[in-house]
Amino acid sequence: MQTETMVHNANQIALFFASYPHDEALAGVTDHLQKFWERRMRQQLLEYVDHGGHGLHELVLEAAKKIRPAA
């Protein structure tokens, strides 16, 4: 997936859940990424975050920590 598209899609998810209180919103974004994003897409997101995650919504950045597989 093009990086720009990936960032856009992830942020769209965050924008929906951003209406909720922070913890609920974070849980919503995390759950969505885990339940609907395929492994390669999550991996692309995490790699992008590792490179600074420019342009990603704060909720996506936080959710990325939660979906990162244990080392």
Partner 1 sequence: MALIQETDYGTPLRIAETMVTLEIDGRSVTVPAGTSIMRAAVGLGIQVPKLCATDSVEPFGSCRLCLVEIEGRRGTPASCTTPVESGLKVHTSSPKLSRMRRGMMELYISDHPLDCLTCGANGNCELQDMAGVVGLREVRYGYDGANHLKSEKDQSNPYFTFDASKCIVCSRCVRACEEVQGTFALTIQGRGFASVVSAGGKDFLDSECVSCGACVQACPTATLMEKSVLEKGQGEHSVITTCAYCGVGCTFKAEMQGNEVVRMVPFKDGMANHGHSCVKGRFSWGYATHKDRILKPMLRAKITDPWREVTWEEAIGHAASEFKRIQAKFGRESIGGITSSRCTDEETYLVQKMIRAAFGNNNVDTCARVCHSPTGYGLKTTLGTSAGTQHFDSVEHADVIMVIGANPTDAHPVFASHMKRRLREGARLIVVDPRRIDLVKTPHVKADYHLPLRPGANVAVINAMAHVVVTEGLVDEPYVRERCDIAAFDAWRKFVAEERNSPEAVEEVTGVPAADLRAAARLYATGRNAAIYYGLGVTEHSQGSTMVMGMANLAMATGNFGKLGAGVNPLRGQNNVQGSCDMGSFPHEFSGYRHVSDDAVRHSFEQAWQVPLQSDPGLRISNMIDAAIDGTFKGIYIQGEDIVQSDPNTKHLTAGMAAMECVVVQDLFLNETASYAHVFLPGSSFLEKDGTFINAERRIGRVRKAIPPKAGLADWEITVKLSEALGYPMPYQHPSEIMDEIARLTPTFAGVSYELLDRVGSVQWPCNEKAPMGTPVMHIGGFVRGKGRFMITEFIPTDERTTDRYPLVLTTGRILSQYNVGAQTRRTENNVWHSEDVLEIHPFDAENRGINEHDLVALTSRAGEITLRAHISERMQPGVVYTTFHHAVTGANVVTTEFSDWATSCPEYKVTAVQVRPAKKLSEWQQHYQETRKQTTQIMSETHGD
Chain position carrying tokens 């856009």: 8
Residues 2-61 that bind partner 1 (CB under 8 A): 2, 5, 8-9, 12-13, 15-16, 18-20, 32, 34-41
- Nearest distance from C-beta of residue 39 to partner 1, angstroms: 6
CB atoms within 10 A of CB 16: 14
How many residues bind partner 1 (CB under 8 A)? The answer is: 21
- 69 part of the interface to partner 1, by CB under 8 A: no
Radius of gyration (Cα) for the chain, nearest Å?
Answer: 11
- 67 part of the interface to partner 1, by CB under 8 A: no
CA–chain centroid gap for 40, Å, is 13
